[in-house]
Amino acid sequence: MTRTRKEKKEETEKSDLRRLPTEQILPAAADLDRMSSLEIVSLINQEDATVAPAVSCALPQIARAIDVVVNGLRQGGRLIYVGAGTSGRIGALDASEIPPTFNTDPQTVQFIMAGGPKALAASTEASEDDTSLALAEIKKRKPGKRDIVLGIATSGRTPFTIAAVEYARRRGTHTIALTCNRDSPLERAADFAIVTEVGAEVLAGSSRMKAGTAHKMVLNMISTGAMTRLGYVYGNLMVNVWTKNEKLVQRAIRILEQATGADHDAARAALKASGNRTPVAVVMLAAGVKASQAAAALKRSRGHVRQAIDLANVSLRSE
């Protein structure tokens, strides 16, 4: 049977996988199974030390990603991570930590995982080749021009992730690739790519190691940077933190003390008067206004705490 051009291309890319830097044998780890525990951890630690420099080489692209995400979220868009295996789980982790850290709507930062939520705890590695499933999942989200789809794949060749990114891009959605290998199909599928070249792993081909660490670092930068630019951070304080339990209430009081210089009793009273809404309490204390005025200023600034303080101060002076 004569193979189609698509089948030949897929076969070539599978062969190319063996030539990827992340799939190579690390010479220093060739005798890993003969090493002592101390030798193993020393080698892993030595290799882990190369991840931050690899990420630093991609800082301009990471900053560009933050700008794209900020612009999209300001217009009511969403950030949607897509991935399979380790890459998908890291995307899911970052997405799940945004609401409690910044008190955002869970729909603001989402994830699509090959194999679905069950794949977070169990191996469903065959799902990464299922492009029909990828299309079904991304179509459910109805990505549009205000949204951002960020595909994560160490190799840059995961069919599930590529299919989702290609579909989103055709819809006019902003698309970003996060990989550890240059000139990959995923990079070509997206508007632009963030490439962290971490090289060969101590455990050959195991993307849960340096590649996974690099992905985690980059997603931390993108989500934290975007939320900071949106004003959900004041100074370097988590002023949008949830107050769902006593520990978090105490953390919010401490944040109010640090952000405004208020004493413990004043901070607690402001938090109570705000209805346990930390950003409202920050504006109240920083600008010396009532809860209703602080809430109104935050609404006008679209949740940007520092801008809300300025607005509240202007409003107070005009009275």
Q: Which residues are catalytic?
A: 97, 128
Tell me which amino acid residue 283 is.
Answer: V
**Residues 6 or more apart whose Cβ sits within 8 Å of residue 267:** 253, 254, 256, 257, 260, 281, 285
β-pair partners for 178: 152, 194
CA-derived radius of gyration, the chain: 23
* In contact, 91 and 152? CB cutoff 8 Å: yes
Q: Nearest CA to 211 among 177, 186, 180? A: 180
Euclidean distance between CA atoms 99 and 107, whole angstroms:
9
Q: For residue 157, with 0-12 CB atoms within 10 Å meaning exposed, 13-18 middle and 19 or more buried, which class applies?
A: buried
Other CB atoms within 10 A of residue 182 CB: 12
The kind and range of the H/E element at 51 are helix 51-56
β-pair partners for 234: 237
Q: Where are the alpha helices (DSSP H) in 109-245?
A: 131-141, 159-170, 185-189, 210-229
Q: Nearest CA to 282 among 224, 318, 243? A: 243
> Sign of torsion, CA 269 270 274 279?
negative
- Write the DSSP symbol of residue 203: S
Region for 64 from its dihedrals, namely left if φ exceeds 0, alpha if ψ lies in -120 to 50, beta otherwise? alpha
* In contact, 305 and 277? CB cutoff 8 Å: no
